Amino acid sequence: MMNCVIIDDEPLAREGLASYVREVDFLNLGGTCENPLQLIKLLDEQAIDLIFLDIQMPKMNGIDFLKIFPKPPMVIITTAYPSYALEGFQLNVLDYLLKPITFDRFFKSANKARDYHRLLNNSAQPGAQKTETDEGYFFIKCGNKYEKIYFDEILYVEGMQNYVTIFTTKGKYMTLLNLKSLEQNLDGKLFIRVHKSYIVSTGKIDGIEGNEIFIGEHRIPISRNYREQVIQQVVTNKLWDKIKFS
Burial of 44 per CB tally in 10 Å (0-12, 13-18, 19+): exposed
Q: How far apart are CA 159 and CA 166, in angstroms?
A: 9
> pLDDT tens for residues 19-40?
999 999 999 999 999 988 888 7
CATH classification at residue 17: 3.40.50.2300
Answer yes or no: do 88 and 154 share one domain.
Answer: no
Q: Is residue 126 one of the residues assigned to a domain?
A: no
Among residues 58, 89, 121, which one ends one of the domains?
A: 121
pLDDT at position 243 over 80: no
Answer yes or no: do 114 and 163 share one domain.
Answer: no
Answer yes or no: do 190 and 223 share one domain.
Answer: yes
Instruction: Give the least confident one: 6-15, 36-45, 79-88, 116-125.
Output: 116-125
Q: Containing domain of residue 28, as a range?
A: 2-121
pLDDT at position 127 over 70: no
pLDDT at position 133 over 70: no
With 0.75 as the threshold, say if the pTM is over it.
Answer: no
Q: Is residue 223 one of the residues assigned to a domain?
A: yes
Among residues 121, 156, 182, which one ends one of the domains?
A: 121
> pLDDT tens for residues 41-89?
787 788 899 999 999 998 888 888 888 876 778 899 999 988 888 888 7
Total domains in the fold of the chain:
2
Categorize the per-residue pLDDT at 130 as very low, low, confident or very high, splitting at 50, 70 and 90.
Answer: very low
pLDDT at position 121 over 50: yes
Answer yes or no: do 100 and 171 share one domain.
Answer: no
Q: Is residue 246 one of the residues assigned to a domain?
A: no
Answer yes or no: do 148 and 211 share one domain.
Answer: yes
Answer yes or no: do 67 and 154 share one domain.
Answer: no
Answer yes or no: do 6 and 90 share one domain.
Answer: yes
For residues 232-242, average pLDDT: 72
Q: Is residue 131 one of the residues assigned to a domain?
A: no
For residue 131, the model assigns a pLDDT of: 40
Q: Is residue 241 one of the residues assigned to a domain?
A: no
Answer yes or no: do 90 and 164 share one domain.
Answer: no
Rounded alpha-carbon distances, angstroms, from residue 59 to 8, 23, 70, 214: 12, 31, 19, 51
Answer yes or no: do 116 and 32 share one domain.
Answer: yes
Q: Is residue 244 one of the residues assigned to a domain?
A: no
CATH classification at residue 187: 2.40.50.1020
Answer yes or no: do 200 and 156 share one domain.
Answer: yes
Q: Is residue 167 one of the residues assigned to a domain?
A: yes
Which has the higher per-residue pLDDT, 46 or 110?
Answer: 110
Among residues 60, 90, 121, which one ends one of the domains?
A: 121
